[in-house]
Structures are given as C-alpha cells and as structure tokens.
Amino acid sequence: MLFGKKHRSEDETAKERQDMNRSNREILFVTYIFTAVFVILIGYVIYFTAIRSESFINNPYNNKRAQLLSQKVVRGPILSRDGTVLAKTDTDADGNEIRIYPYGSVFAHSVGFFSQASIGVEAIANFKLLSSDINTFERISNDLNGIKNKGDQVVTSLDVGLQTTAYSALGDRKGAVVVMNVKTGEILALVSKPDFDPNSIDEIWDLINSDTVKSPLLNRATQGLYPPGSTFKIVTALEYIKEATDPGDYVFDCSGSFESKGVRINCYHGQKHGELDFETSFAKSCNSSFANISSGLDKRSFGQTCRDLMFNGDIPCPYSYKTSYVDMNKNTEYGQLIQAGIGQGRTQITPIHMAMITSAIANKGILMHPIVITGVKNTYGQTIKSYGSKEYGRLMSGYESRYLRELMRDVVLNGTGSRLKDTSLYEAAGKTGSAEYSQDKSKSHAWFTGFAPYNDPEIAVTVIVEGGGSGGETAVPIARAVFDDYFQ
C-alpha cells in the first residue's frame, strides 16, 4: 500500500511538471506574439515618419499633418527651370497669407493650386513646400518669437517660354500639349484646356468643380483618355518590324478601303492611295494598308509589344494619371485586332503616355524617367537636394527605334506632317493622327507626336486637339510653334 501511494505521488509530480511546462510555453508564446506586434508597430511608425512621410503628407486625403506644418512654415515658392516664380505666398492688407500665381491660367494644371484641394506641382511637392531648411539657430529664434519659418523653394523643369508658346498655340480649343526633353526626361511644358485662373480658385471652385461639360479641372495631358487614331500606327509598325522578315518587301494597293471577314476599314475621307510600300503606308497614314498589316500580326506578340510600351499598366508619370488601354491578347477578336491596328476600337491613351513612347523612340529606344521637380533650395537659395536624370528602361531595341525614326521623318518629308517640312533651324519627325470618337464619322480628334532634331533628338512634342479634325492641319501647326520657339 505504501508503494502504491508513492507511485501515485510520483505520477502526480510528473503531471504537475508537464502542466507547468505547458503553461510556460503558452506564456512564452503569448509574449513572443506581443513582442512581434510591438516590433511591427514600431517599424510601421518608423516607415511612415522617416521613409514615407512625404508621400503620406502629400496624400490629399491626409491634410491634417500639412495643416500643422503650415502653422509653423510659410509655404515656399515654386520656380521654373530658370528661377522664374510660378507660385509664391504673399500677405494681404489684413496680414492673411495668400497664394499668388503670376502666370494665372498658363500653368493652371502643371503648377496647379493649393486651396480646396491640390493638383499639379502644388500637390506633388506639398511636403517640400512646407519644409524649412534654414539653420537651426534661426529656426529656434523664430519659434521663440512666434515667427513662421520660410518654406523651401521647389525648382521645376518647366520652361516659361515653351509653356507660354504651347498655351497660346492651343488657343481656346480643348486639348493638351506635352513637351519633354528626350535625353533627361524633364517635362518642359504641360498644357491642358479648358483651364482656370488658380488665383481665384476659392471664388470659382463650386462653378468649375460642377462643370461636367468643359471639365476645366481635368488635366487632359495626363488624365484625358483618347483614341490614338493613326498615332498608334507607331505601335503597329513596331510590331510589324519585329515580325516581318524584311518590312521593305511589303506592297499594298489601296483602293480607299480594306475588307476582310466582315470587317471594313476606310481610309480618311475615302482617299485612294494606290500602290504603297511599308514606308509610304506609314507616311501617308493609310488605314487600309495598316488594316492589312494588322490582320496578319500575331496577337500574343502584339499584346506583349503593347505591354512593353506600358499599355494596360503603370507609367512613370509624376502627375496623377489615367491608365492607357488596348485590347490585345491571344483571345482578341479579329475585328478588334484590325481596329486596334489603326488606333480605333477600344484603344485609349493619354497624351503624356504618347509623349513617353515618342521620347523613347527619339532616345534610341530608352525612356528616361519623366520628372517635373529638379531640385529643392532653402529660402536663401542654397541647394538642399537635386534630382538628376535616370533611365526608366528600354522600350524597344536600338534597331527598332532607328527604323521608327526613319518612318517618322518620312511623314514630314513625304506625308501628312508636311507642315513641318520647310524648317531652317531643325529637322523634325513625327506622326499625325485623326481619331474618330463618335458615331459621326466626320468628327475626329487631331493628333501629332514627334521630335527634333531628327539626327540628334532633343525634345518630343505631343499635341491633342479635341474635335480638331485632321492632325496634319490642326495639331502639327501647334507642335511647330513649340519647335520653332525651342530652336530659335
């Protein structure tokens, strides 16, 4: 009996030890969980305060932090590439801070505004404009004396001359103009119309915010989605260059239309181009010939080329933008393949995206990362940070870009871009487009995208005029005004 009692006692002790070990493991597990959660929270705070603080504060849905900064910092000025003031903060007779835009509506969408909401550089550089990199002693002195520190100056790539020229050339028509330096990615000009005067944004806000007809707040350069029309033949031509054994062997007899498998494509205004090779088909912008070319393309490969050119995905745009779209994959229907080949159907693109593709063609196939902010200076003009050029990536091979440059030069010499032919200071290249956008086939948007000089490209210019009709007649003269100003 004594032995039995002893045996039970040992069993009970072992069980108690097991229960204690189990409890210790559970406590350790819970401790580890809470420690991990604490570390994650600390990392989360560090991530948003030290790494993502700028983008977090720039977010239009998070303006409380910006409001706190504005209580201690006078919002800094925005400057053009040569130091001209594009936006600044002044005080009125009552001592209230007011935001001034010396050029009024000229930079309405590119510089933007900071009131009610924010767009343009005002939104992109919100954190920088509310930062003050003056010396510590001056900042402490200002804080002690209740004086607000002066915000940093944001330097942009925007060129006052080119912006003003593009703005004037577009006139009172709806549309957009984008000008880029193909070697650096700098956005030199960005115009969108209809526009507004940012100096009176508070007074006109309700009116323009509710205007769904003119949509003046819409930045058409980056958020306007349009059928590209014949400018998309750049993409189709690129795919044909990839697939064809020798594109120079191509021959087509244009009778004014193309018809196959129940799909009919007409040339612009029913024009009959006659016998064409590949180069002339591109220069004359023959819809029938390009419908014929498209009909034989591999849909899977064509879709990949479109993705390589950033369709259906993100583009490296510093401004808020819409995503360009093309329906091209192995399951694309025959009719849509033909329509897409001439830039119609469901295909849509933004002017800024078209300018990027053109810049890559001009820059030997390489797209430089587009930028609009090139540096930050403190209120005394001392450089705080500079943003240099960097490659975004290769969109096509050097051979393919060279072939496309030759095709685009022939558009000016022998095709629809002839209004750029007789220039003395530069040689231009480009592609026109007339994109149908309604059931009324007589109405079309006018496009042009191109670059200059042809032999050593420096800038790309993209123009869209809503309802402008012929790209060669309406869009090309606007682009020429910009080229002329740049090379004068």
pLDDT category at 36 given cuts 50, 70, 90 is confident
Helices first, then strands: H and E counts in the chain: 17, 21
The mean pLDDT of 268-286, rounded to a whole number, is: 95
Of 176, 140, 147, nearest to 73 (Cα)?
A: 147
Q: Quick one: pLDDT at residue 29?
A: 74
**CA dist list (Å): 176 to 98, 244, 343, 373:** 29, 35, 19, 20
Of 245, 201, 206, nearest to 107 (Cα)?
A: 201
User: Among the listed ranges 24-33, 124-133, 155-164, 198-207, which one has the minimum average pLDDT value?
Assistant: 24-33
Q: Quick one: pLDDT at residue 62?
A: 53
Cα–Cα distance between 93 and 98 in angstroms, integer? 11
* Exposed e or buried b per residue across 57-93, where buried means at least 16 C-beta atoms within 10 angstroms of its C-beta: bbeeeeeebbeebbeebbbbbbbbbeeeebbbbeeee
Q: Quick one: pLDDT at residue 19?
A: 65
363 within 8 A of 456, measured Cβ to Cβ: no
**195: Cβ contacts below 8 Å, ≥ 6 apart:** 105, 108, 109, 216
Q: Quick one: pLDDT at residue 262?
A: 94
Question: In what helix (H) or strand (E) does residue 262 lie, and over which residues does it extend?
Answer: none
> What secondary structure letter does DSSP report for 92?
-
231 within 8 A of 432, measured Cβ to Cβ: yes
pLDDT category at 284 given cuts 50, 70, 90 is very high
Q: Quick one: pLDDT at residue 25?
A: 74
**37: Cβ contacts below 8 Å, ≥ 6 apart:** none
Q: Is the pLDDT of residue 475 over 80?
A: yes
The mean pLDDT of 208-220, rounded to a whole number, is: 96
Averaged pLDDT of the chain: 91
Q: Is the pLDDT of residue 52 over 70?
A: no
User: Among the listed ranges 35-49, 222-236, 238-252, 365-379, which one has the minimum average pLDDT value?
Assistant: 35-49
Cα–Cα distance between 434 and 267 in angstroms, integer? 11
Largest interatomic CA distance in the chain: 120
**CA dist list (Å): 37 to 33, 43, 44, 121, 199:** 6, 10, 10, 38, 48
Q: What is the pLDDT of residues 299-334, one digit of tens each?
A: 999 999 999 999 999 999 999 999 999 999 999 999
Q: Is the pLDDT of residue 42 over 80?
A: no
More confident residue, 145 or 289: 289
pLDDT category at 8 given cuts 50, 70, 90 is low
Q: What is the pLDDT of residues 108-118, one digit of tens each?
A: 999 999 988 89
Q: Is the pLDDT of residue 48 over 70?
A: no
- Evaluate the omega torsion of the peptide bond into residue 194 and state whether it is cis, within 30 degrees of 0: yes
The mean pLDDT of 63-74, rounded to a whole number, is: 77
Neighbours of 425 (CB within 10 A): 11
The percentage of the chain sitting over the pLDDT mark of 90, rounded to a whole number, equals 80
More confident residue, 56 or 401: 401
**289: Cβ contacts below 8 Å, ≥ 6 apart:** 252, 254, 258, 273, 276, 281
* Residue type for position 93: A
Q: Quick one: pLDDT at residue 46?
A: 53
- Angle, helix 398-414 to helix 351-362, in steps of 10 degrees: 110
**273: Cβ contacts below 8 Å, ≥ 6 apart:** 254, 256, 267, 280, 281, 284, 286, 288, 289
3-state secondary structure at position 400: helix
Q: Is the pLDDT of residue 484 over 80?
A: yes
Q: What is the pLDDT of residues 166-182, one digit of tens each?
A: 999 999 999 999 999 99
CATH code of the region 223-487: 3.40.710.10
Q: Is the pLDDT of residue 144 over 50?
A: yes
Q: Quick one: pLDDT at residue 15?
A: 67
Q: Quick one: pLDDT at residue 2?
A: 45
Q: Quick one: pLDDT at residue 68?
A: 79
352 within 8 A of 461, measured Cβ to Cβ: no
Cα–Cα distance between 336 and 324 in angstroms, integer? 16
CA angle 452/183/385 to nearest 5° reads 140
Q: Is the pLDDT of residue 43 over 70?
A: no
Of 116, 115, 130, nearest to 78 (Cα)?
A: 130
- Evaluate the omega torsion of the peptide bond into residue 216 and state whether it is cis, within 30 degrees of 0: no
**Domain residue spans of the chain:** 223-487
57 within 8 A of 65, measured Cβ to Cβ: yes
The mean pLDDT of 6-24, rounded to a whole number, is: 65
Cα–Cα distance between 163 and 294 in angstroms, integer? 37
Q: Quick one: pLDDT at residue 270?
A: 87
Q: What is the pLDDT of residues 366-418, one digit of tens each?
A: 999 999 999 999 999 999 999 999 999 999 999 999 999 999 999 999 999 99
pLDDT category at 439 given cuts 50, 70, 90 is confident
Cα–Cα distance between 228 and 224 in angstroms, integer? 11
State residue 331 phi and psi, 5-degree precision: -100, 0
Of 251, 238, 178, 227, nearest to 461 (Cα)?
A: 178
User: Among the listed ranges 17-31, 49-63, 314-328, which one has the minimum average pLDDT value?
Assistant: 49-63
Q: What is the pLDDT of residues 92-108, one digit of tens each?
A: 988 899 999 999 999 99
Q: Quick one: pLDDT at residue 12?
A: 66
